[in-house]
């Protein structure tokens, strides 16, 4: 991944509005960020924390309120900050946006590390949407920088509005509790980093009020206006309709639903893991992982638990659940409950066989081996 050197020639004078700004929105954002400090590792004062910084409005608010003189980080005696910006190479002006990010960060006395990746090419190679390829590229980049700089925590600027959009997107796709739980405020990523989203309780309208009131410069992303992206259509059409026709506080309501479902999912996942350990056998052979369990255990389980056991078996055998949807899970449950011995179901990246009342889940021929952590 290409890297750009930091820009050392930028003034480090406090940005406009950083000293004079007051008001309830700033207080709310500061409160959210102060709470985020509780999630930093115990030795955070001796380590760096990485802030994903696109230069857009949301990450601008995050970087300024956290890192400006007199900001939350300074007042709390928190860790040193680094900023990271990935150029997706999707627009002709993407290089200018990366330079803008370095300039703004330098004005706060924060180093901004930038890199480049051909996100469109990655989407094509991996058969992903550009949005998903970009998300994965950013996380890979942040994890790489975090390892190099000894940072265990990555802060991202997702807002309550982003959360509401994600819930609606997942709902339209028929997701269960896991998908509808949307983005967690704190989660441990398989790449070895702790991802913290301290602005999930603050709406984009509030962020705009804060940034515009402070006079903080930010880089508008014209791709946010393109109707070709599903999330943009939700942002520009579905959410305003909900606010106007159903609930003026629709974003907060959707965010609350996500939080409740995450708690439900956490509890149900614990139950699933316990039952999976009781009934499943994991066999590693010739570089592949197979999962076996009695058909009777799955057939007698409540449908909700049966689906979760199938998901866990597929995750263990394949290494992930990419391209596995509800239709595939139901096909396996149906095989166990109505199939005959010798029957099988071919799924993306996996094969499920029923023989002598034993269900065997194995990776498809040529599929990559599952990683040690099942990721």
pLDDT digits (tens, 9 = 90+) for 225-259: 777 788 899 999 999 999 999 999 999 999 999 99
CA atoms of 118 and 140, how far apart (whole Å): 13
Domain 2-262: what homologous superfamily?
A: HUPs (3.40.50.620)
Q: pTM of the prediction? A: 0.84
Residues of the chain within CATH 3.40.50.620 domain(s) are: 2-262
Name the DSSP class of 319. Answer: S
Kindly report the three-state secondary structure assignment for every residue of 107-176: HCCCEEEEEECCHHHHHHHHCCCHHHHHHHHHHHHHHHHHHHHCCCEEECCCCHHHHHHHHHHHHHCCCC
Can you tell me whether residue 310 is helix, strand or coil? Answer: helix
> Mean pLDDT over residues 349-357, rounded?
94
Q: What is the pLDDT of residues 60-94, one digit of tens each?
A: 999 998 887 766 666 555 668 899 999 999 999 99
Q: What is the pLDDT of residues 173-213, one digit of tens each?
A: 888 899 999 999 999 998 999 999 989 999 999 999 999 99
Side-chain-side CA neighbours of residue 225 (13 Å): 3
> Mean pLDDT over residues 349-353, rounded?
95
Residues of the chain within CATH 3.30.465.60 domain(s) are: 280-363
What would the two tokens of residue 31 be?
A: 């409160």
- Looking at CATH, the fold of the domain delimited by 280-363 is given as 3.30.465
Assess whether pLDDT exceeds 70 at residue 13.
no
pLDDT on residue 227: 78
Q: What angle do CA 66, 70, 17 make, to 5 degrees?
A: 85
CA atoms of 147 and 143, how far apart (whole Å): 6
């Amino acid at each position: 991944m290409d890297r750009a050197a930091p820009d050392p020639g930028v003034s480090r004078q406090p940005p406009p509005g950083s000293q004079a700004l007051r008001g309830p929105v700033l207080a709310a954002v500061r409160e959210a960020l102060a709470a985020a400090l509780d999630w930093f590792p115990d030795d955070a004062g001796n380590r760096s924390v990485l802030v994903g910084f696109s230069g857009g409005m949301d990450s601008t608010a995050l970087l300024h309120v956290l890192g400006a003189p007199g900001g939350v980080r300074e007042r709390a005696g928190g860790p040193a900050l680094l900023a990271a910006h990935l150029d997706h190479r999707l627009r002709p002006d993407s290089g200018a946006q990366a330079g803008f990010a370095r300039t703004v960060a330098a004005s706060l006395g924060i180093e901004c590390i930038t890199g480049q990746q051909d996100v469109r090419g990655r989407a094509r190679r991996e058969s992903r949407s550009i949005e998903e390829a970009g998300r994965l590229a950013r996380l890979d980049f942040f994890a790489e920088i975090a390892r190099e700089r000894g940072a265990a925590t990555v802060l991202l600027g997702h807002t309550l509005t982003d959360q509401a959009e994600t819930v609606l997107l997942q709902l339209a796709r028929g997701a269960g509790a896991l998908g509808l739980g949307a983005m967690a405020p704190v989660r441990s990523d398989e790449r070895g980093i702790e991802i913290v989203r301290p602005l999930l309780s603050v709406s984009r309208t509030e962020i705009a009020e804060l940034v515009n009131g402070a006079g903080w410069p930010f880089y508008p992303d014209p791709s946010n206006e393109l109707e070709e992206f599903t999330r943009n259509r939700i942002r520009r059409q579905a959410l305003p309709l909900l606010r106007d026709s159903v609930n003026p506080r629709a974003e907060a309501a959707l965010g609350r639903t996500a939080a409740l479902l995450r708690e439900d999912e956490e509890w149900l996942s614990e139950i699933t893991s316990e039952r999976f350990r009781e009934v499943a056998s994991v066999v590693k052979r010739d570089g592949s992982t197979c999962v076996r369990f009695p058909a009777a255990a799955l057939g007698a389980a409540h449908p909700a638990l049966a689906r979760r056991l199938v998901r866990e078996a597929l995750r263990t055998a394949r290494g992930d659940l990419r391209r596995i949807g509800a239709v595939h899970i139901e096909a396996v449950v149906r095989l166990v409950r109505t199939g005959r011995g010798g029957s099988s179901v071919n799924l993306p990246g996996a094969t499920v066989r029923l023989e002598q009342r034993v269900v065997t889940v194995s990776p498809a021929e040529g599929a990559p081996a599952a990683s040690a952590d099942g990721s």
